Amino acid sequence: MMGAAASVFREQASWIPPQEDPAGDDSVVEYDVPPFIRQYKSGRVERYGRADAVPAAGTDDASSRDVVVNPGTGLWARLYLPGAAVTSRRRIPVVVFHHGGGFVAGSTAQRSTHAYLKRLAADAGVLVVSPEYRLAPEHPLPAALDGSWWEALAAGATIAHNMAARAGFGDALDLSVFKGLVLVHPFFAGEQAIGGEPADRVKAGTFWRYRCPGTTAGLDDALCNPFADGGASACAARVAACCESVLVCVAEKDALRDRGVRTATRRGRCTRASWTSLRQ
3-class SS shares of the chain: helix, strand, coil, % to 5: 30, 20, 50
For the stretch 40-71, pLDDT in tens is 988 889 887 666 889 999 888 899 999 998 88
What backbone phi and psi angles, to 5 degrees, belong to 101?
135, 20
- Tell me how far apart the alpha carbons of residues 207 and 105 are, in angstroms, rounded to a whole number: 13
pLDDT of residue 90: 78
For the chain, how many helices (H) and strands (E)? 8, 10
Q: Give CA separation, 24 vs 29, 30, 140, in Å.
A: 11, 12, 22
- Over 50: is that where the pLDDT of 12 sits? no
Tell me if 233 sits within 8 A of 201, measured CB to CB: no
Confidence of residue 246 (pLDDT cuts 50, 70, 90): confident
Strands 94-96 and 127-132: parallel
Write out the DSSP string of 3-27: -TTHHHHH-GGG-------TT-STT
The full set of domains in the chain, from first to last, is 53-270 (3.40.50.1820)
Instruction: Say which amino acid occupies 25.
Output: D
Q: Is residue 57 helix, strand or coil?
A: coil
Question: Does residue 226 or residue 165 have the better pLDDT?
Answer: 226
Q: What is the mean pLDDT of residues 229-235?
A: 61
Q: Give CA separation, 88 vs 38, 58, 81, 117, 177, in Å.
A: 46, 17, 12, 20, 21
pTM as predicted = 0.76
Angle formed at CA 26 by CA 20 and CA 32, multiple of 5 degrees: 80
Question: Does residue 168 or residue 238 have the better pLDDT?
Answer: 238
Average pLDDT score over the chain:
77
- Over 60: is that where the pLDDT of 232 sits? no
Most confident of 108-117, 142-151, 228-237, 244-253: 108-117
